[in-house]
Amino acid sequence: AQSVTQLDSHVSVSEGTPVLLRCNYSSSYSPSLFWYVQHPNKGLQLLLKYTSAATLVKGINGFEAEFKKSETSFHLTKPSAHMSDAAEYFCVVTRASGSARQLTFGSGTQLTVLP
C-alpha cells in the first residue's frame, strides 16, 4: 500500500524568492518518486524523479528535490521563483519495480508567483 500527501494546496511566493512545495509519502515498498508540473490548459510534464540513486535529484528549470527516507518526504525546492513557474505541481509515488497501475498522484499544489 502507498499514499502521497501534498501538504499545501496553494503556495504563494514573490518572484525571486525561494520555492518550497512539500510532499510526504508512505509506502510498504521501496518507493520511486516524481514531481510533475501542469501549466494552465497543458498536460503534465516531468520535472524530476527519484529511483533509488542519488537522494538529491536535480530537475529541469532549476528545481530539485531531496529524498529523505527517515522523514518520508520528497519536498520540491527552487532557489528563486520566476513568473513562469506559476502552475500546479503534482508529487507522485510508485513502487520502484511495479507497474504503471501503481502510480499514486498527489492532490496537487497550486503555485502562485507574485511580481
Chain residues that interact with other proteins, rule: CB under 8 A: 32, 41-46, 49, 51, 90, 94-103, 105-108
Q: How many residues does the chain have?
A: 115
Task: Indicate the residue among 37 and 81 with the shorter CB distance to other proteins.
Answer: 37
Neighbours of 36 (CB within 10 A): 20
Task: Indicate the residue among 13 and 93 with the shorter CB distance to other proteins.
Answer: 93
Cα separations in angstroms, 23 against 8, 16, 42, 91: 9, 22, 22, 6
Residue 62, phi then psi, degrees to nearest 5: 85, 5
Q: What is the closest distance, in whole angstroms, from the C-beta atom of residue 108 to other proteins in the complex?
A: 7
Q: What is the closest distance, in whole angstroms, from the C-beta atom of residue 26 to other proteins in the complex?
A: 16
Task: Indicate the residue among 3 and 14 with the shorter CB distance to other proteins.
Answer: 3
